[in-house]
């Protein structure tokens, strides 16, 4: 394992599980290839056996000899020694989809929560898809209307698990028409970058940079230069006015610097180290 913080693989959901499995193969590669030790964390789903078995079969086909499922259905289960041991022994913990509120409700503040952060800081890979992606940020989208323009009250926010501070993550982004709700989220939290990740698309985060992999794109919404909004004058259900917001669309191979809030174009990356 590398020393220093590990990598995050944050997936927009519906990743390819039948074809080339580009994203899941990258998770395995980062976790140590054939020597990877992957724990499939099914805390987000109410169908842990079915969902866990699917991922165990997929990772097994990719070539991972040591892959196991760990489910947390109560907070007490997140505090037992076997839970901590599972995290301590893993080179990757993979969070499945489901409901991101279940993740924070069942893991937040537990021994497993502390162990996950500790192991990530020591170099473990942390991956998550769909709900497992949303929970990565310090502030997460809990629910919200899709296929609408930005409005007051269409998105509900809550604290996330804080693996990736300074962002708000939305998933199934283009496929479910979630532009309006992510714009509404960053209007309320303009110090956060909004990251809309398409299906079968992921960002690989290393330090202050991320790179896009997969077949779709990542939309980065930056309200840091917001010049005007009617946020304080409107009521629930009213349309939002947002002026001066910047948006970047990044397909596979493109990179972004989080602290600088700027894409890393080809000429910018000549002298930087690869995040993956």
The one catalytic residue in 172, 192, 206, 254 is 172
CA atoms within 13 A on the CB side of 182: 28
To the query of whether residue 172 is one of the catalytic residues in this protein, the response is: yes
| Residue carrying structure tokens 């479910």 | 176
DSSP class per residue in 150-214 = -BTTSEEEEE---SBTTEEEEESTTTTT-HHHHHHHHHH-TTSEEEEE-TTEEEEEETTEEEEEE
Residue 199 designated active-site: yes
Catalytic option among 199, 209, 211, 219: 199
- Catalytic site residue from 15, 130, 206, 211: 130
Structure tokens at 21: 């499995």
- Phi, psi dihedrals of residue 160, rounded to the nearest 5°: -100, -160
* Residue among 121, 99, 106 at smallest CA distance from 70: 106
How far is the CA of 127 from the CAs of 130, 228, 235, 268, in angstroms? 10, 36, 38, 27
Residues 140 and 160: beta-carbon distance below 8 Å? yes
Taking the alpha carbons of 252, 37, 48, 41 in that order, is the dihedral positive or negative?
Answer: negative
Active site residues: 130, 172, 199
């Amino acid at each position: 394992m590398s020393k220093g913080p590990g990598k995050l693989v944050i997936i927009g959901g519906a990743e390819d599980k039948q074809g080339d499995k580009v994203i899941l193969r990258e998770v395995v590669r980062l976790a140590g290839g054939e020597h990877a030790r992957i724990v499939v964390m099914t805390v987000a789903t109410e169908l842990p056996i079915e969902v866990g078995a699917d991922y165990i079969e997929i990772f097994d086909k990719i070539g991972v000899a040591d892959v196991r499922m760990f489910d947390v259905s109560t907070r007490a289960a997140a505090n037992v020694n076997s839970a901590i041991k599972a995290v301590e022994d893993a080179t990757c913990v993979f969070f499945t989809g489901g409901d991101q509120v279940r993740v924070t409700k069942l893991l937040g503040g537990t021994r497993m929560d502390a162990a996950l952060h500790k192991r990530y800081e020591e170099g473990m890979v942390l991956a998550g898809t769909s709900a497992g992606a949303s929970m990565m940020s310090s502030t997460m989208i809990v629910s919200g209307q899709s296929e609408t323009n930005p409005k007051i009250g269409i998105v509900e926010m809550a604290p996330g698990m804080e693996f990736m501070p300074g962002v708000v993550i939305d998933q199934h982004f283009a496929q479910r028409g979630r532009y309006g709700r992510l714009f509404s989220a960053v209007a309320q939290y303009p110090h956060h970058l909004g990251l809309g990740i398409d299906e079968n698309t992921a960002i690989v985060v290393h330090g202050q940079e991320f790179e896009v992999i997969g077949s779709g794109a990542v939309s980065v919404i930056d309200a840091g230069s917001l010049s005007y909004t009617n946020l304080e004058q409107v009521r629930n259900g009213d349309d939002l006015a947002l002026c001066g917001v910047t948006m970047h669309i990044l397909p596979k191979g493109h990179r972004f610097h989080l602290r600088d809030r700027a894409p890393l174009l080809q000429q910018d990356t000549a002298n930087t180290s690869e995040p993956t």
